[in-house]
Amino acid sequence: MRPRAPRPDSLQTVTVLEILEALDARHGEAGVPFKTLEAAAGSRLPFQALKDALNALVAANAVVRVSEKPARLRITAAGRAQLDGYR
What span, in angstroms and rounded, lies between the C-alpha atoms of 39 and 61? 23
Q: What is the dihedral of CA 61, 65, 17, 3, to 10 degrees?
A: 80
Beta carbons of 3 and 52 less than 8 angstroms apart: no
Beta carbons of 58 and 40 less than 8 angstroms apart: no
pTM attached to this predicted model: 0.84
Q: What is the pLDDT along the chain (87 residues), one digit of tens a residue?
A: 565 555 667 888 999 999 999 998 898 888 999 999 999 998 889 999 999 999 999 999 999 999 888 889 999 999 999 988 887
H-state helical runs in 4-76: 10-27, 34-41, 47-59
